[in-house]
A = this chain, B = another copy of it.
């Protein structure tokens, strides 16, 4: 017998630009929103009965309509507002999820001044949130940042590792360590000062990355996660993914030149990929 398994449906890449027109300073928020709903939609999948299916077009409309009246100060609050709306207005669903990616715009600063109504996009770092809630449980809120692209030119070694007959990597006490990091931290409460937590977590990650005396990506990752948890009692877990952005030392000896860690080839592939969760235990 063949049957329907887990399923969800929703709308992706709903792009929203919201302008707060203060006097004099404006603010702009650019959010890329994904919404999805879950529930028992068997009749739709098996029989083509669309009676329980709210169109994904309506989900898109909902993002814009709620944004107009929303007092959400950040992506976490707006995600929760969207979820609450769907759980309230759609009795046919069991749960809802929202993911938001926020592109950063900063006021333009020039020799003249900081301009109140002109902005420059900065990145590649992106702020993110994924929030989900089912009728039977509290909301789960995972905040994050993506593409935090960082590099350190000192205090990074990788040596005394395991070797087998296919190992060719040389040990090093001084290499470049770079990554385009993804971090995701889980909140223990649905109501928090998400911006303050975010600023603290980000700062803890960066201070530790910069200052840690690294014996491996793994060791630095753990230290970063630990520092993030210590910065924010409101979070219970942080997951870090640190793909290695390798910078390979160029061998200039065929040309009669030395290369004491000055000239490197940055490469995107292949790359190492280290990921781990760090959490509060019992």
Q: Interface residues, chain A, CB within 8 Å of chain B?
A: 1-21, 26, 28, 30, 34, 36, 41, 44-58, 60-62, 64-65, 67-69, 89-90, 92, 105, 108, 110-112, 115, 117-125, 148-155, 158-169, 176, 203, 206-207, 209-211, 214-219, 221-222, 225-226, 229-230, 237, 239, 243-244, 247, 250, 252, 254-255, 257, 259, 261-282
Contacts and interface: CB of A to CB of B under 8 A. Distances in A.
Given A108-B206, A110-B206, A112-B211, 11 more contacts: A7-B275, A15-B265, A17-B265, A17-B266, A44-B216, A45-B222, A45-B276, A48-B214, A65-B257, A68-B252, A115-B210
A3 B237 CA distance: 10
Nearest to A282: B1
Given A2-B281, A45-B222, A210-B108, A273 B122 contact: no
Contacts of A225: 2
A153 B117 contact: yes
Given A15-B270, A21-B261, A153-B21, A278 B4 contact: yes
